[in-house]
C-alpha cells in the first residue's frame, strides 16, 4: 500500500527526531550481512565496520544469526569476537554487505536508512530515499572488495581481521575452485596471508573446511538445511536455494534421503514453489542437485540433467549465484510467458 501524506509526515517527523538524537549521540552505523550468515557475511561486517571506524564513521558489525561452525572456527582461530546477533535495525543507519535484496536483509530494513551496500551479487531490486554509496563487483567474495578499499584508503588491516577476511574469500570461492574466482581474490588472499601470518594457506584452508563440516553427520537435518539457505522471488514465485559444501562428500550424500524429506516438509509448510539444495563436493567439483516442488521437469532440463529420486549430479556446478540462480530465473521467466 502506498504511504499516505499523513504517513509521510509521521515518517519525516520520526526521521527528524532520529537525526536530532543521532547528531547528539552519534549512533554507530550498523554493518550487517545476509540472513543465515556465512563466513563472508560475518567477516565483511567485521572488516568494513573496522575500516569505517578508522575513517571517522563509527560503525559496528552485527549479524542476523549465530556464526556457522566454519565461521566459529575462524573466529576462535584468530581470536575475534562474533558480531552481536541483532534482527532489528529500524531507525538506524545501515550498511549492507554480501547481499542487496529485501529477502536477505533484516525484516525491518525499510524502516532503517541504508547508507551503503558492498556486495558481489547481482542487483536485487532495493529502493532508497537518498543517494547511497554502492560498490558491487563481480568478484568471488565481498571481502575481496573490502580489502581493495583498505588498500585504497591506506588503512592497515589488523592481523586477526586479515585472517577473517582471507577465510571468507576461501569460503566463498571454495579455495579458488568456484568459477566465481577472480585474480583479485587470489591477490587479496596473497596479501592477507602475509598480514595474518599464515604460512601454509592450503593447509589452513583444509583445516577451516574440515571444521565447517565436522557436524554434517550428526546435526539435525532442519538446521543443516537452513545453514546456507536463501530465499528468492522469481516472477512472484517463492523459491528457496540452499547449499552445503564438503570436502568429504560422503557426509552429505549419506543423508540425501533425509534432506529430501525435510525439503518436502518445508516446501509444503511454507508455500515454496520450488526448493533446491546443492550438495557441493569441493574435490570432485560438482553438486548433487536436490529438487522438490513444482516444475521439477523444467528445472532438470534447464540444468541438462535427468532427475532420479528428485536429484541429479551436475558436474562443474559449484556456485549458487553464478550457475544456479540465473538458470532458475530463466525457468520461471519462461513459465510466465
Interface residues with Mg ion (CB under 5 A) are 38, 40-41, 98, 142, 172
Q: Is 17 exposed, middle or buried (0-12, 13-18, 19+ CB in 10 A)?
A: exposed
Cα separation, 121 vs 137, in Å, equals 8
Contact yes or no for 271/295 (Cβ under 8 A):
no
Sheet of 286-293, strand order:
229-234, 237-246, 274-281, 286-293, 311-315
Nearer to Mg ion, 90 or 321 (CB): 321
- Report the nearest approach of Mg ion to the CB of residue 55 (Å): 22
The minimum distance between CB 5 and Mg ion, in angstroms, equals 40
User: Which residue lies nearer to Mg ion by CB, 111 or 285?
Assistant: 285
Angle at CA 175, nearest 5°, toward 170 and 178? 105
Q: Looking at beta carbons only, is 52 or 320 nearer to Mg ion?
A: 320
Query: Smallest distance from the beta carbon of 98 to Mg ion, in angstroms?
Result: 4
Give the residue with the Cβ less far from Mg ion, 142 or 237. 142
The one-character DSSP state at 308 is: B
Closest to Mg ion by CB, 212 or 300: 212
User: Nearest CA to 273 among 302, 293, 289, 290?
Assistant: 293
CA 114, 117, 121, 124 torsion: positive or negative? positive
Residue 2 CB partners (closer than 8 Å, separation 6+): none
Smallest distance from Mg ion to CB 149, Å: 15
Smallest gap from Cβ 230 to Mg ion, in A, equals 8
Residue closest to Mg ion when measured from CB atoms: 40
Amino acid at each position: 500500500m502506498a504511504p499516505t501524506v499523513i504517513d509521510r509526515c509521521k515518517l519525516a517527523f520520526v526521521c527528524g527526531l532520529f537525526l536530532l538524537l543521532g547528531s547528539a549521540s552519534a549512533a554507530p552505523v550498523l554493518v550487517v550481512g545476509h540472513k543465515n550468515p556465512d563466513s563472508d557475511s560475518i567477516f565483511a561486517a567485521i572488516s568494513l565496520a573496522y575500516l569505517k571506524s578508522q575513517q571517522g564513521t563509527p560503525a559496528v558489525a552485527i549479524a542476523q544469526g549465530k556464526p556457522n561452525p566454519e565461521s566459529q572456527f575462524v573466529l576462535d582461530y584468530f581470536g575475534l569476537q562474533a558480531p552481536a546477533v541483532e534482527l532489528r535495525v529500524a531507525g538506524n543507519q545501515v550498511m549492507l554487505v554480501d547481499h542487496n535484496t529485501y529477502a536477505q536483509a533484516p525484516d525491518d530494513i525499510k524502516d532503517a536508512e541504508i547508507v551503503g551496500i558492498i556486495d558481489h551479487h547481482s542487483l536485487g531490486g532495493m529502493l532508497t530515499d537518498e543517494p547511497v554509496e554502492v560498490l558491487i563487483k563481480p568478484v568471488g567474495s565481498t571481502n575481496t572488495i573490502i580489502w581493495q578499499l583498505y588498500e585504497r584508503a591506506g588503512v592497515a588491516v589488523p592481523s586477526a581481521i586479515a585472517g577473517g577476511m582471507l577465510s571468507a574469500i576461501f569460503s566463498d570461492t571454495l579455495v579458488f575452485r568456484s568459477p566465481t574466482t577472480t585474480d583479485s581474490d587470489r591477490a587479496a588472499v596473497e596479501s592477507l596471508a602475509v598480514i595474518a601470518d599464515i604460512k601454509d594457506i592450503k593447509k589452513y584452508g583444509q583445516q577451516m573446511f574440515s571444521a565447517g563440516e565436522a557436524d554434517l553427520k550428526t546435526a539435525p537435518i532442519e538446521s543443516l538445511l537452513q545453514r546456507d539457505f536463501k530465499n528468492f522471488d522469481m516472477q512472484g514465485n517463492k523459491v528457496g536455494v540452499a547449499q552445503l559444501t564438503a570436502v568429504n562428500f560422503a557426509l552429505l550424500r549419506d543423508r540425501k534421503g533425509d534432506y529430501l524429506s525435510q525439503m518436502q516438509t518445508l516446501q509444503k509448510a511454507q508455500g515454496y514453489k520450488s526448493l533446491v539444495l546443492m550438495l557441493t563436493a569441493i574435490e570432485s567439483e560438482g553438486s548433487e542437485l536436490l529438487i522438490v516442488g513444482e516444475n521439477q521437469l523444467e528445472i532438470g532440463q534447464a540444468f541438462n540433467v535427468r532427475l532420479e529420486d528428485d536429484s541429479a549430479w551436475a558436474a562443474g556446478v559449484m556456485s549458487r549465484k553464478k550457475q544456479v540462480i540465473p538458470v532458475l530465473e530463466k525457468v520461471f521467466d519462461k513459465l510466465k510467458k
